[in-house]
Amino acid sequence: MGHATNSGFLSRLANDEITQNRARPERTRRLRKTRTAGADAEVTQNAHGRSGRGGYAYPGGMARITGSWLSGPPVAPVSGAADDYAGAGLGLPREGAGSLPGMFRRVVAMLVDWLIAVGISALIAQGIPSSSVNLLLWFVIGVVAVTLFGFTPGQYFLRIRVIRVDAEAPVGFLRALGRQVLLVFVIPALFTDGDGRGMHDRATGTAVARSR
């Protein structure tokens, strides 16, 4: 009797094991299907802008951030760059005759005028230079030459001249005198505007331009 009971118990265990082995592949297939479906759903959510953790992600956000960082800041379109040069506001050309030269050329022209005045002063004073005579001669040369010709000897050698910015007319005596009086103090010539004109030119409505 006991032997029959043990045989029946073992038979049931064997049957249960066989049943479990048959059901195990089915559960494995279901689990795989569930995982595959979950992965497909996650890919679909990311493609529509949802992150894997349930938040929202900007489509292509990382690519845009990286691209913006590598490309640098956006460059605004340049407007009016062609008219941004010295003399544009005065209606003068960018280059060639009538355009405004740099500070260096004007300073060299003034230095040449000063050396000419020193030379003449040395001849007049019999080899004894005098600062007062030098300044007087430099002043007279500037006023007379600009009034008659529109340029000083130094400006002629540097190919520049004094012009009026308000009209196509000679500078005249009064403007030439006013310019030279302000130039004596030097300081007004150092305060230039966006066109490079000093206070002596702005006060007299003149400018130093290239002659050729």
Domains of the chain: which residue ranges?
2-71, 86-210
* Strand spans (E) along 3-111: none
User: How many other CB atoms are found less than 10 A from the CB of residue 125?
Assistant: 12
User: Between the CA of residue 37 and those of 2, 28, 53, 138, 165, what are the distances in Å?
Assistant: 52, 14, 16, 97, 82
Confidence check: pLDDT of 173 > 90: yes
- Tokens 């260096």 belong to 104
Residue 52: what pLDDT?
42
DSSP characters for 99-142?
Answer: S---HHHHHHHHHHHHHHHHHHHHHHTTT---HHHHHHHHHHHH
Confidence check: pLDDT of 112 > 90: yes
Most confident of 16-25, 69-78, 122-131, 196-205: 196-205
3-state secondary structure of 161: strand
Q: Can you tell me the distance from the alpha carbon of 35 to that of 2, in angstroms, rounded to the nearest whole number?
A: 49
Q: Which one, of 195, 143, 191, lies nearest residue 165 by Cα? A: 195
- pTM (predicted TM-score): 0.58
Residue 127 pLDDT class (50, 70, 90 cuts): low
- Residue 160, both tokens: 């520049």
Confidence check: pLDDT of 18 > 80: no
